[in-house]
């Protein structure tokens, strides 16, 4: 994982000091603490100048500083992981592998074919020296951040970066996320001569003409261009070339008669017996095991091939001392179905002597007298009904009841502790570091001003603020554990697994039930069809910027191409059943998989949004709507950057 940056100028060579000081460089450095390098490319006879900057977080193969340059003067910046499609050996570095393949490409179609084949998250910038072209873009899901900015002054032209804390100058255009709707090419020679930047766009298309998940109409091109300066144009390639979508199209098949699936929702309480009924069908049980196999492989790709020797003076054949053992993989952990499944599957592939960090964040709850003015000082949190219905968890509930009066005993802390007990029962030999991360309102305000605001932007809603803050504190991993009594603890894991993508594919959000109730299965399928196409602009770039700020890499097993293809191939009734109650109907096939893997109470926990589960949504302004523009982000952004630039 890296912080990458590129600046194009049509006047003078960009000054390195303009990039290497101030808030933007600070943000980029935090993303890539292992290596820092810059390179300037001036083509004076054609009148353009380029500055490349790379900050590397070393995770795989030999450390490869970026930008990296081949013998033909092609220059490459890569923020990604190749998890499939191309061969990358256990001891290889994927940046080198990608540049080697790019160097052998002799045409546009070969470059597009290469990026169509790559499975995994990526954002890249590639300067093709012989053609005087710049290529850049993000993967189909937008799992890696890339922002662009066009100056109102053509001479300053253009900047690409993983994260930016720079406030545009007066009359400048705002920073935007590069659309994950394809990749782009700029002919630098032509642009320098015409004083006009022409973005050639190569959109994503399915191999079959039946489905187009990204709108590639002229309206889409015009919408993209309208947000850019007048000296910038966006056109589709004259050749009509496109990238091939790396996942199967969504199965939109509906039952011959779907009336029985329309609007009627059970009001009974979800139980594990409901999952057993689902699994009693041989066809569905087979599908569940196919899903388990796909998810298991997805997790394996993301937790192996990491540097695991914690002491360079000790050989790999020497057993580590207990004091040396630390986790290399952490999980954003609420105890819900998504994070529990990731923990169980990670346990299959991470060496047994290596701990796994379970990062559980809680924001301090207001006491009852703060909320209502009464004399009572604590709130009692309602325990999940699914846990209450499972007798095997009576011991867990006794433990939880003893902590109910803690101001950090939020719903996700309760389910997290219950989930820990389940994991310890499944594998008592593993050290599970349940990291309790407790955040006060004072620390939230301080860190939002110092770090989080610029990472969330250019997104700017109340929901972006809530999720961004919660994920930032969780992935930072500073809290305490109770493995040997309460002790301060900081997670050093560089890889952070997150359950993003499960709800979008398997109707986990309340809006899915609203759509189903109003429009039945047809409406639900249409809603799910929109989810993955917009996940890049709603979630993933933001989460990459947030987690990357700690020098850690976010990995998304539920968005593995093979997992998505499998789920997309299934008809809706084999994945979800929203006539069933919460805790069963949403993500039904995933819950059945959890049951098969030995999970109990967590398999039937209803979905709870992170901002409510960790209680950040209750900490400040309770009257805000999630879609409102967040005043805290707007008021702090300029102040934050001004302070940083003075440092």
Question: What are the DSSP calls for 152-173, one per residue?
Answer: SSTTT-EEEES---PPPPTTPP
Count of alpha carbons within 13 angstroms of residue 357, beta-carbon side: 30
Cis status, amide bond into 458, omega within 30 of 0: yes
Count of alpha carbons within 13 angstroms of residue 47, beta-carbon side: 15
Asked if 411 contacts 615 with a C-beta cutoff of 8 angstroms, the reply is yes
Asked if 384 contacts 591 with a C-beta cutoff of 8 angstroms, the reply is no
Question: What are the DSSP calls for 116-145, one per residue?
Answer: HH-BS-EEEEEEETTTTEEEEEE-TT--S-
* Cβ neighbours of residue 426 closer than 8 Å, sequence gap 6 or more: 344, 347, 598, 599
DSSP H/E element including 462: helix 462-476
Task: Spot the catalytic one: 2, 5, 390, 469.
Answer: 2
Q: Pairing mode, if any, of strands 75-80 and 122-128?
A: antiparallel
DSSP state of 607: P
Nearest one of 265, 271, 267 to 514, comparing CA atoms: 265
DSSP state of 380: P
Asked if 179 contacts 141 with a C-beta cutoff of 8 angstroms, the reply is no
Buried residues in 456-468 as b, exposed as e (16+ CB within 10 A): bbbbbbbbbbbbb
Buried residues in 150-179 as b, exposed as e (16+ CB within 10 A): bbeebebbbbbbbbbbbbeeeebeebebbb
Query: Where on the phi/psi map is residue 496: left (φ > 0), alpha (ψ -120 to 50), or beta?
Result: beta
Active site residue 2: yes
Query: Exposed/middle/buried for 389, CB within 10 Å: 0-12, 13-18, 19+?
Result: middle
* Cβ neighbours of residue 236 closer than 8 Å, sequence gap 6 or more: 200, 201, 202, 203, 216, 221
Q: Pairing mode, if any, of strands 356-363 and 432-439?
A: parallel
Please give the Cα distance from 328 to 603 (Å, whole number): 26
DSSP state of 33: B
* Cβ neighbours of residue 107 closer than 8 Å, sequence gap 6 or more: none
Active site residues: 2
């Amino acid at each position: 994982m890296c912080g990458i940056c590129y600046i194009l100028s049509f006047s003078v060579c960009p000054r390195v000091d303009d990039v290497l000081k101030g808030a933007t460089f600070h943000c980029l450095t935090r993303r890539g603490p292992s290596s820092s390098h810059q390179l300037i490319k001036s083509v004076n006879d054609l009148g353009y100048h380029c500055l490349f900057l790379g900050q590397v977080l070393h995770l795989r193969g030999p450390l490869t500083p970026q930008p990296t340059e081949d013998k033909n003067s092609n220059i490459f910046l890569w923020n990604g992981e190749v998890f499939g499609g191309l061969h990358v050996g256990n001891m290889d570095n994927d940046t080198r592998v990608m540049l080697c393949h790019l160097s052998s490409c002799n045409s546009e179609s070969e470059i597009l074919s290469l990026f169509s084949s790559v499975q995994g998250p990526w954002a890249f910038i590639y300067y093709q020296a012989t053609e005087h072209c710049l290529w850049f873009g993000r993967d189909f899901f937008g799992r890696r951040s890339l922002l662009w900015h066009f100056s109102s002054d053509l001479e300053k032209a253009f900047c690409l970066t993983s994260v930016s804390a720079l406030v545009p100058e007066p009359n400048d255009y705002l920073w935007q996320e590069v659309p994950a709707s394809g990749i782009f090419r700029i002919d630098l020679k032509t642009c320098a001569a015409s004083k006009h930047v022409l973005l050639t766009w190569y959109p994503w298309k399915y191999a079959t003409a039946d489905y187009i998940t990204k709108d590639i109409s002229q309206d889409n091109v015009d919408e993209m261009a309208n947000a850019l300066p007048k000296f910038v144009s966006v056109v589709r390639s004259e050749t009509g070339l496109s990238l091939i979508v790396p996942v199967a199209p969504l199965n939109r098949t509906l039952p011959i008669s779907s009336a029985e699936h329309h609007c009627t929702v059970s009001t009974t309480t979800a139980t594990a017996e409901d999952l057993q009924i689902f699994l009693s069908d041989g066809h569905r049980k087979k599908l569940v095991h196919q899903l388990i196999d796909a998810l298991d492989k997805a997790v394996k790709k993301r937790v192996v091939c990491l540097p695991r020797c914690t002491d360079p003076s000790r050989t790999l054949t020497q057993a580590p001392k207990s004091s040396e053992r630390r986790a290399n993989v952490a999980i954003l952990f609420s105890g819900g179905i998504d994070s529990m499944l990731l923990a169980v599957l990670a346990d299959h592939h991470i060496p047994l002597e290596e701990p796994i960090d379970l990062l559980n964040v809680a924001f301090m709850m207001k006491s009852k007298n703060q909320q209502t003015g009464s004399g009572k000082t604590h709130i009692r949190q309602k325990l999940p009904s699914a846990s209450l219905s499972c007798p095997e968890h009576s011991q867990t509930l006794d433990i939880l009841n003893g902590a109910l009066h803690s101001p950090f005993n939020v719903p996700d802390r309760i389910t997290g502790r219950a989930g820990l007990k389940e994991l310890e029962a499944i594998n008592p030999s593993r050290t599970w570091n349940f990291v309790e991360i407790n955040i006060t309102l004072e620390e939230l305000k301080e860190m939002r001003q110092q770090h989080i605001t610029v990472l969330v932007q250019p997104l700017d809603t109340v929901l972006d603020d809530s999720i961004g803050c919660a994920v930032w504190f969780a992935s930072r991993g500073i809290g305490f554990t109770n493995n040997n009594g309460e002790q301060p603890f900081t997670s050093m894991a560089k890889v952070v697994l997150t359950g993003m993508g499960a709800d979008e594919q398997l109707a986990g959000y309340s809006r899915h039930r609203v759509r189903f109730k109003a429009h039945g299965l047809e409406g639900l399928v249409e809603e799910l069809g929109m989810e993955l196409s917009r996940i890049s602009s709603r979630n993933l770039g933001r989460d990459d910027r947030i987690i990357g700020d700690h020098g850690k890499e976010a990995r998304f097993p539920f968005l593995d191409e093979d997992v998505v293809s499998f789920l997309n191939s299934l008809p809706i009734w084999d994945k979800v059943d929203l006539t069933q109650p919460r805790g069963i109907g949403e993500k039904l096939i995933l819950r059945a998989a959890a049951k098969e893997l030995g999970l109990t109470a967590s398999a039937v926990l209803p979905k709870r949004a992170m901002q409510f589960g960790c209680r950040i949504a209750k900490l400040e302004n309770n009257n805000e709507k999630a879609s409102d523009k967040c005043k805290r982000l707007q008021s702090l952004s300029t102040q934050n950057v001004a302070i940083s630039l003075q440092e």
